[in-house]
Amino acid sequence: MMPLTMARIGEENSIKKVGGKEETRQFLAKLGFVPGSHITIISEISGNVIVHVKESRVAISREMATKIIV
């Protein structure tokens, strides 16, 4: 297991755990970041990460990405 920020671009991973405060976990869950979901990093721009999750592309900050364990 590792934070999403350590995953390689283009590699599909499965979300194992989402950490952080309750409000942060709820926000990420609404975007589709829930345990068991498959996620792929599309690109990384200025520390922000663009990911493919639940048939959508979502941009999240590096800080948020460190809370997602794959």
Cβ(11)–Cβ(41) under 8 Å?
A: yes
Quote the Cα angle for 42-36-47, to 5°.
30
Domain boundary assignment for the chain: 4-69
Class of domain 4-69: mainly beta
pLDDT score for 47: 82
pLDDT score for 43: 95
Confidence of residue 62 (pLDDT cuts 50, 70, 90): very high
pLDDT score for 28: 92
DSSP alpha helix (H) spans, the chain: 22-30, 62-65
**pTM of the complete model:** 0.88
CA 25 → CA 28, 30, 46, distances in Å?
5, 9, 23
pLDDT tens digit sequence for 4-50: 999 999 999 999 999 999 999 999 999 999 999 999 999 998 889 99
